Structure 1
Amino acid sequence: MKKIALLLSTILALHFTQAQDISGQWKGVLKVQGVQLPLVFNIEKTDSGYKSTMDSPQQGAFGIPATSTNFENSTLTIQITNARIKYEGTLGEDEVVIGVFDQGGQTYPMNLKKNTEGSDKPTRPQEPSKPYPYLSEDITFENSSAGIDLAGTLTMPSTGEAFPAVVLISGSGPQDRNEELMGHKPFLVLSDFLTKNGIAVLRFDDRGTGKSTGDFSAAITQDFATDVEAAVNYLKTRSEINADKIGLIGHSEGGMIAPIVAVNTDDVDFIVLLAGTGIPGDQLLLLQQRLLGKASGMSDSQLEENDVISKKAFEIVKTSENPKRDLTDLMIDVFRNLPQDKIPQGMTEADFVNAQVNQMSNPWMMNFIQYDPAPTLQKVSCPVLAINGSKDLQVAPKENLEAIESAVLAGGNKEITIKELPGLNHLFQESTTGAPSEYGAIEQTISPIALDEILNWIQKQVN
């Protein structure tokens, strides 16, 4: 599911010139309605140009990855398409970028200065460093049904043979092979831990992301399932892998995808659902909206108002013959009833309506709202482990774990284990509130408690 503006799919467009090098950490301050929001762009030179990440330290967001860069004729252009953000500025002789920050048509002056005092990034103590004590190979495999090539990394123990293996399946939004988010690399940490304990791991860039080809924006959950099937097929070609002991580990939306793949192929021996969903998409989004809203301090009346609007929108998506038209009518009515102090300065009715309708009517979201995972879960015949953190505000643990267990059992599969892990959030970090604002500020990437639960259960399946 969409990670509520956490999962910004970032596109930074930047060509370089021979005369100037833009690499480094660039800091600016965005001033909006009296509020100052520091932003940082981390730009690194590569063989083909530049790659970048963005930080918003005050919001606890670090390492938001860029997929490309553009720096030409002293002009720096940065685009973050999912958030409708564009920054454009000119690098002067004084090493200051003079520019404008644009979000959703609202423009604000923002200059960038190069940081010479070192990185402000928090430490990530669990992130492994090279050289790894195991084999790590960058690979590519084909999804022939989609006509795309997917790029990833396969890690295997350095000694032994016929290794059990898992494919890691990322959550929603365009994710790289490490599922990089807020400066964390959960899949890098997870693959390192499992490989050190004798399990081969394949993780890969989502289609259209990183080094994988394809169009991410046109794909829905079922399309991503075919990418995972292709990954399983690739593992079966490797002589080092035991083809009878291949499993899937899916996080968030990946926890929806894993059961689809397990049903579509006989080659999956077990699945692990990390904050996977068991209830229909519209119900999950309503719960998510309420939990996140409450954590952010919204009043009960505000939460109720949001519920009413969302339920109307979801019903349109599920039943309307012309959802875009009907969503437009709904959002016009919503905008015209908003108090003036709730409308961002300069935002027009058209800006508001277009943003809401485009988000609600894109193929992925419409499919997600209508999708009920229960019928698929009922068809899963392999062993299932489903775990959630008790402080997960994005995929409510009680409701989803119970629904997953109920659906799997209803299909006659008794090999289902569910666990709610105390104190862990959606990323399985040990957290205080579970709010997304904590993700980037927490140094821990994945709790050892969660890592041990995953490993111990998998070892029982493969030994």
Structure 2
Amino acid sequence: MVETAEMHDVTFTGGTVRLAGVLGLPEQTGPARAGVVLVGGSGPSDRDNDTFFPPLRRHLLDAGIAVLSYDKRGVGTSSGDWRASTLTDLAADAAAALDCLRSRPEVTADTVGLFGHSEGGWVVLRAATARDDIPWVVTNSCPGVSPAVQERHALAHHLRQMHANGQTDTDTDSTLALYDRLVEAGRRDADFATAVRLVDAAGRPPGLAYFWAGMDEPLWTFLKRKQDHDPAPDLLGLRCPHLAFFGSEDRLVPVADSLLALGATVCRAGRSSRASLTVEVVPGADHRMRLPHTTQPAPGYLDKLTRWIDRT
């Protein structure tokens, strides 16, 4: 095990934006065993992806694996605005981070792969499909369904929890129907003012705050642009091994439906012979691979990750 590591602030260019992050290099003789770029989830995710990446980073470094993670566009010290981007833009940023890590003399270039959490899974799948030189990709709690379907699932769970907690002023069916109307409005490219009128006309049900809180015109524009993203074409286009992690108690992602979607996609003809799929469903784990009432990764999760990287 590597007990210490060198940490470096790094900057690199992704398209028209300047991205900033942190590079961890294991202190050891010779090059790192492998390298990984960590890509955060939805919203204003920074290089630590809130609290999810630090224990992951430590484990990878202790295993002799170099790690680079970065602030999303417009977050931390990165320029740009993630709300003005597309998933393809974010995938280009992940590819730029990959090239940054590969350029380091302490890392063997062809060992560097991509790890994407939640929305970041869609991002790394898009980045990997666009290139033929990525040795492997890991998705973590990444829905196999569209953002609109995933968000509805999460909202429905949130509303059920509100009822369980005695907040009976929330009508689950009417709130979900309002969510569906907002999704349809997004498909018609309705502007933010139209969306606000829909919410106001429905009396701004309290349960919708899970989805609607903080909504403004830039975020509405981003969400309606992304809402019907289908991960299947990128899964079909992969030309490298893929490890997909899910937590069995993830309430934000429809895990069973995602597994069905993954299975249906990988069984279609025409996939590359290099594109194997390994699925790990971690018992009892949530969206961030933690057990209930803990802040640390579920037992075995991190070891499964590093063992798979070593074998691939």
TM superposition score category, shorter chain reference: 0.7 to 0.9
Establish whether residue 429 from structure 1 lines up as the match of residue 280 from structure 2. no
Structure 1: stretches of 5+ with no match in the other structure = 1-131, 344-353, 432-441
Q: Which residue is equivalent to 2:271?
A: 412
Cα 1:405–1:452 change in 2 (3 A) is farther
- 1:324 and 1:452 map into 2 onto residues whose CA distance is 45
Q: Which residue is equivalent to 1:262?
A: 128
Deviates more, 1:277-286 or 1:327-336: 327-336
Q: Which residue is equivalent to 1:312?
A: 181
- 2:252 and 2:21 map into 1 onto residues whose CA distance is 28
- 2:54 and 2:234 map into 1 onto residues whose CA distance is 29
Q: Which residue is equivalent to 1:457?
A: 308
**Aligned equivalent of 2:23, options 145, 153, 178:** 153
Indicate if the aligned counterparts of 1:281 and 1:369 stay in contact, CA closer than 8 A.
yes
Taking structure 2 as the reference length, the TM-score comes to: 0.87
- 1:176 and 1:324 map into 2 onto residues whose CA distance is 27
Q: Which residue is equivalent to 2:143?
A: 277
- 1:287 and 1:307 map into 2 onto residues whose CA distance is 10
Indicate if the aligned counterparts of 1:157 and 1:199 stay in contact, CA closer than 8 A.
no
Cα 1:324–1:204 change in 2 (3 A) is closer
Deviations 1:188-236 (A, max 9, x none): 1111111111211112222222232333343333322121111111122
- 1:322 and 1:313 map into 2 onto residues whose CA distance is 9
> C-alpha displacement at 1:261, in angstroms?
0.6
> C-alpha displacement at 1:141, in angstroms?
3.0
The alignment partner of 2:76 has SS state of coil
**Aligned equivalent of 2:194, options 303, 321, 326:** 326
1:280-295 alignment, distance < 5 Å: 280-295=146-161
Q: Which letter maps to 1:367?
A: R
Deviates more, 1:290-299 or 1:389-398: 290-299
Compare CA radii of gyration and give the structure with the larger one.
1
> C-alpha displacement at 1:427, in angstroms?
1.1
**Aligned equivalent of 2:40, options 153, 158, 170:** 170
- 1:264 and 1:375 map into 2 onto residues whose CA distance is 11
Taking structure 1 as the reference length, the TM-score comes to: 0.60
Establish whether residue 236 from structure 1 lines up as the match of residue 91 from structure 2. no
Cα 1:157–1:415 change in 2 (3 A) is farther
Larger relative CO (CA 8 A, sep 6+): 1 or 2? 2
Indicate if the aligned counterparts of 2:21 and 2:68 stay in contact, CA closer than 8 A.
no
Cα 1:295–1:412 change in 2 (3 A) is same
Deviations 1:54-77 (A, max 9, x none): xxxxxxxxxxxxxxxxxxxxxxxx
- 1:165 and 1:361 map into 2 onto residues whose CA distance is 33
- 1:186 and 1:164 map into 2 onto residues whose CA distance is 21
- 2:79 and 2:32 map into 1 onto residues whose CA distance is 30
Indicate if the aligned counterparts of 1:163 and 1:240 stay in contact, CA closer than 8 A.
no
The alignment partner of 1:258 has SS state of helix
Indicate if the aligned counterparts of 2:47 and 2:69 stay in contact, CA closer than 8 A.
yes
Deviations 1:357-412 (A, max 9, x none): 62696232112212111122111121011111111001121111321232233252
Q: Which letter maps to 2:15?
A: S
Structure 2: stretches of 5+ with no match in the other structure = none
Cα 1:443–1:164 change in 2 (3 A) is same
1:130-149 alignment, distance < 5 Å: 133-149=3-19
Indicate if the aligned counterparts of 1:380 and 1:408 stay in contact, CA closer than 8 A.
no
- 1:385 and 1:269 map into 2 onto residues whose CA distance is 12
Q: Which residue is equivalent to 2:64?
A: 198
Q: Which residue is equivalent to 1:447?
A: 298
RMSD, matched Cα: 2.6
Structure (1/2) with the larger helix percentage: 2
Q: Which letter maps to 1:200?
A: A
The alignment partner of 1:362 has SS state of helix
Indicate if the aligned counterparts of 1:189 and 1:445 stay in contact, CA closer than 8 A.
yes
Indicate if the aligned counterparts of 1:134 and 1:155 stay in contact, CA closer than 8 A.
no
Establish whether residue 218 from structure 1 lines up as the match of residue 84 from structure 2. yes
- 2:65 and 2:219 map into 1 onto residues whose CA distance is 40
Cα 1:376–1:159 change in 2 (3 A) is same
Q: Which letter maps to 1:196?
A: D
Structure (1/2) with the larger strand percentage: 1
Cα 1:238–1:253 change in 2 (3 A) is same
- 1:289 and 1:334 map into 2 onto residues whose CA distance is 16
Indicate if the aligned counterparts of 2:17 and 2:78 stay in contact, CA closer than 8 A.
no
Indicate if the aligned counterparts of 1:142 and 1:148 stay in contact, CA closer than 8 A.
yes
Indicate if the aligned counterparts of 1:379 and 1:408 stay in contact, CA closer than 8 A.
no
